[in-house]
Amino acid sequence: MLIPTSTQVMAQALNAVSYAGPQTSPASASGIAQRLLRAGTWSAPRLAELSGLHEAGIVAESPVLLLDRHGLTRHLARILDECAPLASFDQIRTRLRVLRLLATHATGLWDPWTRTRILVPPNVLADAHRYLLDQSDWSKWVALRTGLLGTLTLRAPFLCDPSVRITTLLERLVFAEALADAMMASIAPARLPSVEWLRHHGPSSSLASTVATRIGVSSPLLEARHHIPSFALKAVQSEKLELLLRAPENLPDVAELIQPDTWVARVS
């Protein structure tokens, strides 16, 4: 069926009735942009150390793109129209809600099609104010986590495959985010002085989980997603990451999330 619209048209309509970011002074906007650019440079050499994956080198050399909310919406819309064109009227409402959520909540995203680290200064600044975060440390945290997500999805492209059902995509993205967090578990205050505050008082680390909740997507795995961080941490610490990223069939089911030893026995 021919759908008489596109994601880019939806993005234009959404931008017409929304702001490019929260109101702030030019000095604050410029300051957070400069911090994020420095953070992108700071994070690059640390990606290989934390991930242990050779794809980290590709991400470390990738460009950093700063986008406001409107720019992010337009960028995502172009990607979605190219990789996953609208195929039904049911998708229109869901896609609009996803665009709105990403525009207002995403702080950093990896674009696997252009191999670019996208950082969103208005959202980074808004979270720094909302959660009383040190802006320098928070910028480094966002840049580092974005780079790790890029490294993971370069190694395992199925983690962000737009051709699968949205439920499956969100499940896989929750796993990717949890793995990035597990890789960052070794960061100590000597490297980021306010790291413990970031971990315990910062915003929710799973954007995919937030999207799933807000748009009403559910599955047995998503309902059990509170087990995913501990599973991911064990996979990283026990050097089972390569097994996990080898194929989508190697991702655990609900029972294996709860009992990781059964997952190890199956994929080893």
Rg of the chain on CA atoms, in Å: 18
pLDDT tens digits along 152-198 = 999 999 999 988 999 999 999 999 999 999 999 999 999 999 999 99
Residue 1, Cβ density class (10 Å: 0-12 exposed, 13-18 middle, ≥19 buried): exposed
When divided into structural domains, the chain yields a total of 1
- Give the pTM: 0.95
Residue 135 structural domain = 7-267
Q: Is residue 251 part of a domain?
A: yes
For residue 4, the model assigns a pLDDT of: 57
142, 133 in Cβ contact below 8 A? no
Q: Is residue 2 part of a domain?
A: no
What mean pLDDT is reported for the chain? 94
For residue 1, is pLDDT > 80?
no
Q: Is residue 1 part of a domain?
A: no
Q: Is residue 125 part of a domain?
A: yes
Between the alpha carbon of residue 8 and those of residues 13, 85, 156, the distances in Å are: 9, 10, 28
Q: Is residue 146 part of a domain?
A: yes
Q: Is residue 200 part of a domain?
A: yes
For residue 2, is pLDDT > 70?
no
Q: Is residue 171 part of a domain?
A: yes
Q: Is residue 194 part of a domain?
A: yes
Mean pLDDT check: name the lowest of 13-27, 88-102, 119-133. Answer: 88-102
